[in-house]
Homo-oligomer: A and B are copies of this chain.
Amino acid sequence: MSITEELTALGRRARAAGRIVARLSTTVKNNALLAMADGILSKTDFLQAENEKDLAAGREKGLSDAMIDRLRLSDKVLNSMAVSLREVAALADPIGEVTGMWKRPNGLLVGKQRIPLGVVGIIYESRPNVTSDAAALCLKSGNAVVLRGGSEAIHSNLAVASVLHEACERVGVPKAAIQVVETTDREAVLAMLRLEDYIDVIIPRGGEGLIRFVVENSKIPVIKHYKGVCHVYVDEHADMEMALDIAFNAKVSRPGVCNAMETLLVHKSVAGEFLPLLYKRLSASGVEVRGCTETCRILDGVKEAAEEDWATEFLGLVLAVKVVDDFSAAVTHIEEYGSLHTESIVTKDYATAQRFLREVNSSTVMVNASTRFSDGFELGLGAEIGISTTKIHAFGPMGLEELTTRKFIVYGEGQIRE
């Protein structure tokens, strides 16, 4: 069987399973999720033995310690997978909600009702916990899922899937609702991206290279997020203590993630006071600052930022800093170099706060809060399947609701059209 035939068969099974999953009751879906959590905890030995195959292969291939660490299904990771499954079971079921209904002059009652997308394809790297996290969100939202993880985690992913399948069988959910693509070469990804008749959306999770490859080659709509070049803008009316805390937290609390600040913008009238105070704290934490000319004038020994630094997601202890003339210059900088992810202003001025929220059209726009809150759980979505920085279908952190769409339902009494 060719890879195309293999994936087409898998796609057909997913489509058929999706139709069944779409009609499952909330109780059955929740029972499946709780059985999965129990399964993960009771099959620890099996899961860790399979995981060890991936870890050994990774060590042989010379993966970095950080990569090996991300691959590992430690007791802690397995426990958090089970906790996540139970949390998803506890979330409200989005399917069936009627988000609005109105009456037409001819008496037709027209509403919009939430339904599953159908089949969701997830393409991800490394972390095998994504297998259960993503499967749980797709099942709860009534979707079948096709999971394609990296080759380095294939034994772990298949082992996790087998535990989820046992739980499915126990409560009467079709196993094909959760399928892992077993072939791990790039040809399998390409074949998967051509299944436009069987997969409704592709969500890639991983580095920019993976995401660009998926976008270039997919015939299926892709919900994507390339990078997070997040900004904090310290306004002339900022509370200095608050600005220090927010800027420090946004950069240092977890520099390797997409909602960390990469560029700090400071109004010129407060830069002379603010920047030396912040620089002291940042330097103590090992942060390298790359500044505009004015920043370099204020701060001794800071390296001048290169043009590309303004558009870079450093994902580490590096920060670009620019002094701006006014509010408009800050917004213009964000529009030119930002990635539409998350921007935050620090200000005490009411009108300036409102104007920032109104004029900046990134996916998350904040006043007086750390950019680090920009994720599905922190914003109150209950969970997160990914982040979108393109505006189609979803913009910003995506929860269960973003795995659904809405159909029109119409109650008539025999109406016909003139």
Q: Which residues of A contact B (CB under 8 A)?
A: 19, 22-23, 96, 102, 104, 108, 110, 113, 115-118, 200-201, 215-216, 219, 221-223, 239, 242, 245-246, 248-250, 253, 335, 344, 357-359, 361-370, 372-374, 378-380, 390-397, 405-418
Oligomer: number of copies: 2
Q: Within the complex, which residue of B242, B363, B367, B368 is in contact with A407, where a contact is CB–CB below 8 Å? A: B363
Query: Given A357-B409, A407-B363, A408-B396, are A414 and B245 also a contact pair (CB < 8 Å)?
Result: yes
Q: How far is the CA of A1 from the CA of B407 in the complex (A)?
A: 45
Q: Are B392 and A397 in contact (CB under 8 A)?
A: no
Known: A23-B358, A221-B221. 15 other contacts (CB 8 A): A23-B359, A102-B380, A104-B378, A113-B357, A115-B361, A200-B390, A221-B392, A253-B416, A253-B418, A362-B407, A365-B407, A366-B410, A369-B414, A372-B416, A396-B408
- Decide: B23 and A117 in contact? CB cutoff 8 A: no
Enumerate chain B residues within 8 angstroms of A414, measured Cβ to Cβ: 239, 242, 245-246, 368-369
29 contacts between A and B (CB under 8 A): A22-B361, A23-B359, A96-B358, A108-B369, A108-B373, A108-B379, A115-B361, A117-B391, A201-B391, A201-B392, A221-B392, A246-B416, A249-B417, A250-B416, A364-B408, A365-B409, A366-B412, A367-B411, A369-B413, A369-B414, A369-B415, A372-B416, A372-B417, A373-B410, A373-B412, A373-B415, A373-B417, A378-B417, A392-B392
Looking at the assembled complex, report how far the CB atom of A233 sits from the nearest CB atom of chain B, in whole angstroms: 14
